[in-house]
Amino acid sequence: MLGARAWLGRVLLLPRAGAGLAASRRCPGVWPRTWPHRSPSRGSSSRDKDRSATVSSSVPMPAGGKGSHPSSTPQRVPNRLIHEKSPYLLQHAYNPVDWYPWGQEAFDKARKENKPIFLSVGYSTCHWCHMMEEESFQNEEIGRLLSEDFVSVKVDREERPDVDKVYMMFVQATSSGGGWPMNVWLTPNLQPFVGGTYFPPEDGLTRVGFRTVLLRIREQWKQNKNTLLENSQRVTTALLARSEISVGDRQLPPSAATVNNRCFQQLDEGYDEEYGGFAEAPKFPTPVILSFLFSYWLSHRLTQDGSRAQQMALHTLKMMANGGIRDHVGQGFHRYSTDRQWHVPHFEKMLYDQAQLAVAYSQAFQLSGDEFYSDVAKGILQYVARSLSHRSGGFYSAEDADSPPERGLRPKEGAYYVWTVKEVQQLLPEPVLGATEPLTSGQLLMKHYGLTEAGNISPSQDPKGELQGQNVLTVRYSLELTAARFGLDVEAVRTLLNTGLEKLFQARKHRPKPHLDSKMLAAWNGLMVSGYAVTGAVLGQDRLINYATNGAKFLKRHMFDVASGRLMRTCYTGPGGTVEHSNPPCWGFLEDYAFVVRGLLDLYEASQESAWLEWALRLQDTQDRLFWDSQGGGYFCSEAELGAGLPLRLKDDQDGAEPSANSVSAHNLLRLHGFTGHKDWMDKCVCLLTAFSERMRRVPVALPEMVRALSAQQQTLKQIVICGDRQAKDTKALVQCVHSVYIPNKVLILADGDPSSFLSRQLPFLSTLRRLEDQATAYVCENQACSMPITDPCELRKLLHP
């Protein structure tokens, strides 16, 4: 697509250096929440490159406005976004811009008035989206340009991931990267012809400003419209060919062993030996990679590579948990680390990170038996229950990075989370008894977590100077070393540190809180149901499984249309904690179905309540009807009708911050086959994996979750059947034994002896399995053959984990 990139530059007559299109500037605030950025030399495609943009320090950088504009600018008249439900769109409801939501009204206006469409895409907790809103979209002159010469459309990428994916693909293909805010200019027929990310409002020494871009596009549209249309069509055609994913003439997917080994080698080449993770900086949590490494270890545990895979995953999880990317005071994880050491994060907190990391730390506990990992998992879920949970059981989307240091002040990134030495000393002045030198609780905590008088944040990580003298808590020493340094008992130090963190947490409650995106997404709620269900099952904590159950009930009550059998994508918190929907409703995308089905399967295995399994099967049927490509194989990201008018209908082919919905669907189909024996689930899985064969062969590291599914499909799935009463102690002991062992390629089935039950009707062989001497009895079945009956949990564990 180099020709297209050069053409775009000529169209806008952009300066050669630092052109303002797409992500040619490097800016830590515009990192996309996708695949961690690696160079093609490590085996990824050009689409997997660093997609950030930068902003030169010569441009003023006020913090982005996220508050309610009605209160800050009461004299302004709201635009039509005031009628939307999305928190992101509402943040722009008082801009002096004639904004439209994505929809036919805007498209008709563009065609009638023959104007280009200006499409701006972001999300409510995006720092650089706030920046552009304050600098440009609140600017009266820019507002006039956007309203008079363009049809301006604002999209919440979390509401419309299909729109986001299509135009992000264009931006990435015609530039050096991508990110948010994403700004794209379209023809009235929705074909893109210019795209970019963050633009400063005015020209700099080497960069074009947003106002200039608007003026030049306006001029080119008037003078060279036909050329723009022709080139736009050419670029769209090229993107269509590039995005094609199909079975083609292939009959079967590639060899799992070959693809597995190549994926591991690519990860090994990029691994950071000292600090863990798979990039220099910034560093993202990568649960899909960690999950792959755990699976790789299991199938290669007697080899050096298997041990290496386990070590890479466990070390990465430990370094992340000790670093500043983890909120040591309030728990949960921030979006990513700006440095190699996991020290200074981008402070935004996303629900999907918490969900996946809870599972990753639970799996680490299964593998290692080290309670360090289970404690981290419990901390994540404690944070979600406290800060991201609706009273009816649903889960909110995110917390912002920015907040005012004090009420009435301008928001700053990280203000809610950082500490000065003076603050800690005042909060923790108590002397520590028994230490070998004079010591207060505050000094002990500051030593352990690396706080200094000057602050522990490098000026290079704080270009705006907002964090001078501030500290991010990050574990500098083990408990043993801190205890030895002051001649204290390890348990005493643990207690003192925990008490100190609790006091900091209580003090932090009095600070202005970051903005909460209270939108609830079916996909991310599905991930969170998995997070609670898997962790609760592994740790044997019914309380956590109850959170998963309540989450699933919320989805069925508020995000499922019984009449059509379809999921809704979004719902919103209304007055008094009520639940509201947009009108018309935003229907679910592929990821909503895939992630919710996974959550329901995990919840069934955790609770043994077959109603969740039955609903999962019904949702899978609906997913197949709405998204399956009967010609090319695999699933489209969106319904054909919902995406009508978009130039592309894509199949997501990358496991990133969230796993690809096709990858998750491959796992779901395998599990559903194990639960029901229905051959069509397995046939669909094989077809899906075959469609993605070329991508897995060429860049397996871009699809580690799908590579896991490929391995599972080519191995033997275990059907672990427990015959017993769900509430009986001996049944629960066998179930807990299964959950205590890391077995990713299995289904857990409870057979209660009722021949009319849902599972008995799906799997007739269950009626042949009997309890031994009226005790709960386990059978491990593979290839249509079952083990001898087992009643002792210890014997079952030996069979499952030889």
Q: Of the candidates 400, 397, 314, 316, which has an alpha carbon nearest to the alpha carbon of residue 363? A: 314
Q: Of the candidates 410, 427, 382, which has an alpha carbon nearest to the alpha carbon of residue 512? A: 410
Backbone angles phi, psi at 329, to 5 degrees: -85, -50
Question: What are the DSSP calls for 195-227, one per residue?
Answer: EES---SS--SS---HHHHHHHHHHHHHHSHHH
What gap in Å lies between CA 443 and CA 482, rounded to an integer? 11
Say whether pLDDT at 77 is over 70.
yes
The pLDDT of 87-95, averaged and rounded, is 97
598: its two tokens: 């996974």
Q: Of the candidates 51, 53, 46, which has an alpha carbon nearest to the alpha carbon of residue 242? A: 46
Residue owning tokens 């070390």: 315
Say whether pLDDT at 70 is over 60.
no
Q: pTM of the predicted model, to two decimals?
A: 0.91
User: Which letter, b or e, does each residue of 419-437 get, where b requires 16 or more Cβ atoms within 10 Å of its Cβ?
Assistant: bebebbbebbeeebeebee
Whether 81 and 68 have beta carbons less than 8 Å apart is answered as no
- Within 10 Å of residue 442's Cβ, how many Cβ atoms? 23
Say whether pLDDT at 184 is over 70.
yes
With bands split at pLDDT 50, 70 and 90, how would you rate the model's confidence at 739? very high
pLDDT for position 259 = 97
Distance from first CA to last CA of the chain, Å, rounded? 52
676: its two tokens: 């029901």
Backbone angles phi, psi at 471, to 5 degrees: -135, 140
- Within 10 Å of residue 789's Cβ, how many Cβ atoms? 16
| Range(s) of the chain covered by CATH 3.40.30.10 | 78-241, 715-801
What gap in Å lies between CA 160 and CA 645, rounded to an integer? 14
Residue owning tokens 């990391």: 357
Say whether pLDDT at 261 is over 50.
yes
With bands split at pLDDT 50, 70 and 90, how would you rate the model's confidence at 38? very low
434: left (phi over 0), alpha (psi -120 to 50) or beta: left
With bands split at pLDDT 50, 70 and 90, how would you rate the model's confidence at 122? very high
Backbone angles phi, psi at 257, to 5 degrees: -60, -45
pLDDT for position 207 = 82
217: its two tokens: 């596009």
What gap in Å lies between CA 745 and CA 751, rounded to an integer? 20
User: At CB < 8 A and 24+ separation, what contacts does 133-136 make?
Assistant: 133/64, 133/65, 133/91, 133/92, 133/95, 134/62, 134/63, 134/64, 134/65, 135/62, 135/200, 135/201, 135/210, 136/199, 136/201, 136/210, 136/211
pLDDT for position 251 = 84
Q: Which helix (H) or strand (E) holds 193?
A: strand 192-196
Residue owning tokens 């015609």: 174
pLDDT for position 784 = 86
Question: What are the DSSP calls for 395-428, one per residue?
Answer: B--EE-SEE-SSTTSPPEETTTT-B-HHHHHHH-
What gap in Å lies between CA 795 and CA 787, rounded to an integer? 12
**The length of the chain, given as a count of residues:** 802
> Which residues are registered as beta bridge partners of 749?
721
Q: Which helix (H) or strand (E) holds 232?
A: helix 225-242
What is the dihedral angle through the alpha carbons of 492, 498, 503, 504, rounded to the nearest 10 degrees? 130
What gap in Å lies between CA 525 and CA 531, rounded to an integer? 10
Q: Of the candidates 115, 70, 62, 60, which has an alpha carbon nearest to the alpha carbon of residue 90? A: 70
Q: Of the candidates 351, 352, 755, which has an alpha carbon nearest to the alpha carbon of residue 518? A: 351
pLDDT for position 66 = 45
The answer for residues whose C-beta is within 8 angstroms of residue 518's C-beta and 6 or more apart is: 87, 390, 396, 397, 572, 573
What gap in Å lies between CA 374 and CA 381, rounded to an integer? 11
DSSP tag of 153:
E
> Which residues are registered as beta bridge partners of 117?
151, 186
Whether 551 and 393 have beta carbons less than 8 Å apart is answered as yes
Say whether pLDDT at 637 is over 50.
yes
**Upstream peptide bond of 181 is cis (omega within 30 degrees of 0):** yes
* pLDDT more than 70, % of the chain: 90
Q: Of the candidates 306, 355, 373, which has an alpha carbon nearest to the alpha carbon of residue 664? A: 355
How confident is the prediction for the chain on average, in pLDDT?
Answer: 90
With bands split at pLDDT 50, 70 and 90, how would you rate the model's confidence at 73? very low
- The alpha carbon of 20 is separated from its chain's Cα centroid by a whole number of angstroms, namely 28
What gap in Å lies between CA 518 and CA 400, rounded to an integer? 11
What gap in Å lies between CA 662 and CA 386, rounded to an integer? 32
541: its two tokens: 């904590």
Question: What CATH number matches the domain at 715-801, 3.40.640.10, 3.50.50.60, 3.40.30.10, 3.40.50.300?
Answer: 3.40.30.10
What gap in Å lies between CA 297 and CA 276, rounded to an integer? 17
With bands split at pLDDT 50, 70 and 90, how would you rate the model's confidence at 51? very low
Amino acid letter at 635? Answer: Y
Say whether pLDDT at 19 is over 80.
no
What gap in Å lies between CA 208 and CA 219, rounded to an integer? 16
679: its two tokens: 């051959």
Say whether pLDDT at 562 is over 80.
yes
Amino acid letter at 411? Answer: P
The pLDDT of 462-480, averaged and rounded, is 93
Residue owning tokens 């983890």: 326
Task: Tell me which of 486 and 204 has the higher pLDDT.
Answer: 486
Tens of pLDDT, residue by residue over 316-352, are 999 999 999 999 999 999 999 999 999 999 999 999 9
pLDDT for position 74 = 53
The pLDDT of 112-140, averaged and rounded, is 96
Backbone angles phi, psi at 265, to 5 degrees: -65, -40
pLDDT for position 75 = 66
Do the bridges between strand 100-101 and strand 151-156 make them parallel or antiparallel, or are there none, so unpaired? Answer: parallel
Tens of pLDDT, residue by residue over 580-630, are 999 889 999 999 999 999 999 999 999 999 999 999 999 999 999 999 999
Tens of pLDDT, residue by residue over 687-735, are 999 999 999 999 999 999 999 999 999 998 999 999 999 999 999 999 9
Question: What CATH number matches the domain at 78-241, 3.30.67.10, 3.40.30.10, 3.30.160.250, 3.40.50.300?
Answer: 3.40.30.10
With bands split at pLDDT 50, 70 and 90, how would you rate the model's confidence at 644? confident
What gap in Å lies between CA 38 and CA 51, rounded to an integer? 10
